[in-house]
Structure 1
Amino acid sequence: MADKITSVIAKEDNGNIQITFAIPSDVIKSAEDETIKEFAKDTEIAGFRKGMAPLDKVKDKIPQSTLIEHSLSHVLPKALAEAVTENKLQIAIYPKFELISAKEGEAWQIRGTTCELPKFELGDYKKAVTGELAAASIIVPGKDSADKSASGQISRDKKEQIAIKAILENTKIEIPQILIEEEADSRLSNLLGRLEKLGLALENYLASMGKKAEDLRADYAKQAKEAIALDLILTKIAESEGLKIDQKEVDAALNMSQVDIKEKDQNPSETDNRKRLMESILRRRAALDFLINLS
């Protein structure tokens, strides 16, 4: 069909998935018309009552980039859903879209970059963790005394560090590049927010750390890769061990984390999403607790 959106899937070595869409000009024209009608409701043009201006004059008032962005928002969600279904994809994040070509009268080319969660095997994580914990419990005079009691008992924090290091080293898992970039961007954004509150410039912060911007980005990318891997591994361990979280525990944790949010002000779907997120966090916490108690 001439008006059917087509897509091509390409899986890259870094774990990313490229979905390239070809959107027929007729589909684009229809989406643009809908966008212009939406803008017309609030557009004020001299000589016409609000919402009554001719659509061609309304179009002239809309920046081209805005028209393209809003028109694609009418088209891409459905096109993505069809591509995901047809190719049996289980995407982990909503794609980052890039406009490749948008010539008048021709099919538009749009590229979306996303990924699936990596598939991996856990390996013998119990043996790896218990071995490392046993080795760490050996008392060596003058070494790691701050992490042990006189009887050689390892502190909880140290046990967690040992368990985390053991499962990361014992599990081969390839994290898609786009997931790493997303997490690194989030961490950088949080840092910039904190610096802004403190009235510090990023350049001064970097100078105080003796680092360049690219060094900071590389550090955050490494941290992001390990954090994502750890979350996935702990989630799989929780599934493997059949660890469950009581709903009362989830509710209690939510109440502690959002004391300033009134129940009546919460959107039901947002509340459900927060509950699912909190449950996943608690399950990973339970998996880590399980590991440090193996010894």
Structure 2
Amino acid sequence: MEITSSLAKSDDGSIQITFTIPFSLVQNAKGEALVEFAKEVEIPGFRKGKAPQAQVEAKIPQAKLIERLLGKILPKALSSALAEYKIRPAVYPKFELIKAKDNENWEVVAKTCEIPKFELGDYKKALSKLGKPKDKEQEIIKFLLETIHIHIPKILIDEEVNARLSNLLERIEKLGLSLESYLASIRKTPEILRKEYEGQSQSAIALELILEKIAEAEKIKVKESQIDEAIKTSSGDPKLFERRSVATILRRRAALDSLISLL
């Protein structure tokens, strides 16, 4: 028996793929996972890798076993589904196990989205109407966000919001504060803070997508020497930089600079 899948798309561009996994495949993957765990755990009276699977299974938390066995099934199933449905996900899917009964097929849902499609329009002509603003960069950013409309998938916004919240928690912990005391100091509730981050994230993602598309339209290229220089002059650990990410940031910056030069 083979894994089957179905596709559902939401109005906001979110994508959901539901996988139905034959129980026989689950059992096979479980056996492979237990063989691996047998080499990792200590079972009294047995050498590593030699304990009966039943005793190994009793030693392993169920959630950990399920995670390991699904890790043997889902990557290949996902790759096949993305190819079948011609999907290029903007973010790696989040998986949710929705059915896992013995002797019945399992069901897993993968949630992701694609990069939203949008048109730039004649942005250069429209930009000329701005005249000579005092703060060119901020006026251009405001102009782009107000005139180029993009429907950002909720999953992208949630990813960015969660990243910002994680960064915030890390910062306030370094200051020796709790989240509760920090929120009290700025007189905001968790709900208000998250709502603010959602608005900021939506604008940030939209701007990134717009600048990326402008860079593509203007055929902006980033040289390897520019990437090297950016990494060299950064205050962060050079080993932690991913060259492709640095190139993307530089390309977007160049796109924005090209618009500034028009005013």
Question: Counterparts of 1:62 and 1:28 in 2: how far apart (Å)?
Answer: 17
Q: Is 1:240 paired with 2:208? A: no
Q: Is 1:218 paired with 2:186? A: no
Do the aligned partners of residues 27 and 184 (structure 1) sit closer, same or farther apart at CA in structure 2, a change above 3 Å counting?
same
Could you tell me which residue of structure 2 aligns to residue 229 of structure 1? 206
Q: Give the C-alpha shift of residue 127 in structure 1.
A: 2.7
Question: Counterparts of 2:78 and 2:94 in 1: how far apart (Å)?
Answer: 12
Could you tell me which residue of structure 2 aligns to residue 174 of structure 1? 151
Q: Give the C-alpha shift of residue 214 in structure 1.
A: 0.4
Q: Is 1:283 paired with 2:251? A: yes
Q: Give the 3-state SS of the residue equivalent to 1:44 in structure 2.
A: coil
Do the aligned partners of residues 173 and 64 (structure 1) sit closer, same or farther apart at CA in structure 2, a change above 3 Å counting?
same
Paired amino acid for 1:34: E
Could you tell me which residue of structure 2 aligns to residue 202 of structure 1? 179
Q: Give the C-alpha shift of residue 259 in structure 1.
A: 6.4
Q: Give the 3-state SS of the residue equivalent to 2:102 in structure 1.
A: coil
Question: Counterparts of 2:87 and 2:151 in 1: how far apart (Å)?
Answer: 18
Could you tell me which residue of structure 2 aligns to residue 25 of structure 1? 23
CA contact (8 A) 2:91 2:113 kept: yes
Question: Counterparts of 1:284 and 1:177 in 2: how far apart (Å)?
Answer: 23
Could you tell me which residue of structure 1 aligns to residue 121 of structure 2? 123
Paired amino acid for 1:167: L
Among the aligned pairs, what percent are the same residue?
54
1:53 is aligned, of 51, 63, 81, to 51
Q: Is 1:40 paired with 2:17? A: no
Superimposed CA distance per residue, residues 76-128 of structure 1 (whole angstroms, 9 cap, x where no aligned partner): 00000000000111111111111100000111010111000000000122233
Q: Is 1:294 paired with 2:240? A: no
Could you tell me which residue of structure 2 aligns to residue 143 of structure 1? none
Q: Give the 3-state SS of the residue equivalent to 1:195 in structure 2.
A: helix
Question: Counterparts of 1:260 and 1:214 in 2: how far apart (Å)?
Answer: 34
Superimposed CA distance per residue, residues 219-253 of structure 1 (whole angstroms, 9 cap, x where no aligned partner): 00111111000000000001111111121111111
Q: Which runs of 5+ in 1 are unaligned?
A: 137-153
Highest Rg: 1 or 2?
1
Structure-1-length-normalised TM-score: 0.86
Question: Counterparts of 2:237 and 2:149 in 1: how far apart (Å)?
Answer: 41
CA contact (8 A) 1:168 1:230 kept: yes
